[in-house]
Amino acid sequence: MKAYEQKLGIKLWAEADRPREKLLLQGRRQLTDAELIAILIGSGSRNETAVDLSKRILAFYSNDLAELGRVSVKDLSKFKGIGEAKALAIVAALELGRRRKETAVPSIRKMSGAKDAFDVLLPVFADLNHEEFWVLLLNQANVVIGKHLISKGGLAGTVADPKVIFKTGLEHNAANVILAHNHPSGNLKPSEADLHITKKLVAAGRMLDMPVLDHLIITNRQYFSFADAGLI
């Protein structure tokens, strides 16, 4: 009876239930999230299969892949059975998925409103647990000609240096710019610092004949537009 109570290792499963074999036989779309992660980590332990370990990790993050995508190697390594190598494999795979979304955005994109800018910038900010400040550079027709990282910060803020922002615009012959930064907390309300720097950058853009069309605050699923709110 004791033997029956022990969990079977993957090698003793029916072939159709093994993640690698299941992928080969049925295709990647037939695998659950846990089975895909099990393939990444390769093995479990004597008391827990790779799939069970993967289920445990997913359950901890509410079975939300977006939330898992924001987790660090250090955080994943805290799970029993996950060493640094397995944690690195998970983080790398989720980052590839994020980059795939980013490259799916057309390289030529005309901006007609805040939603267009959000669609282009969301892959840049997805899964970040720190603040970053970016600028979208546009030509006279408001077609995106580039997007550039201006600064990285911590959980509470980042620096938006007007000299760096408009130097970047001038170097790439931009006619207009759209500013953007993220709030890892998920709070879309602009801070006093956000309001102040936006006012300062809008004034600088007017002086340089490089108008700031909008400033977006972005979370993983939503955005706040200064232009839509009448603040530009």
Same structural domain for residues 45 and 122?
Answer: no
Indicate if the pLDDT at residue 166 is higher than 90. yes
Q: What is 61-95 written as a DSSP string?
A: TTT-HHHHTT--HHHHTTSTT--HHHHHHHHHHHH
Whether 134 and 150 have beta carbons less than 8 Å apart is answered as yes
Residues in contact with 218: Cβ distance below 8 Å, sequence separation at least 6, in sequence order: 118, 121, 122, 125, 180, 181, 182, 183
Residue 123: φ, ψ to 5°: -60, -30
Q: Which residues are registered as beta bridge partners of 45?
A: 48
Same structural domain for residues 119 and 75?
Answer: no
Indicate if the pLDDT at residue 1 is higher than 50. no
Which of these ranges, 15-24, 91-100, 166-175, has the smallest mean pLDDT?
Answer: 15-24
Same structural domain for residues 95 and 114?
Answer: no
Residue 126 pLDDT: 84
Q: Average of pLDDT values for 63-87?
A: 92
Of 124, 129, 131, 182, nearest in space to 148 by CA: 124
Residue 232 lies inside a defined structural domain of this protein? no
How far is the C-alpha of 221 from the C-alpha of 24, rounded, in Å? 34
Q: What is the pTM of this model?
A: 0.61
Number of domains making up the chain:
2
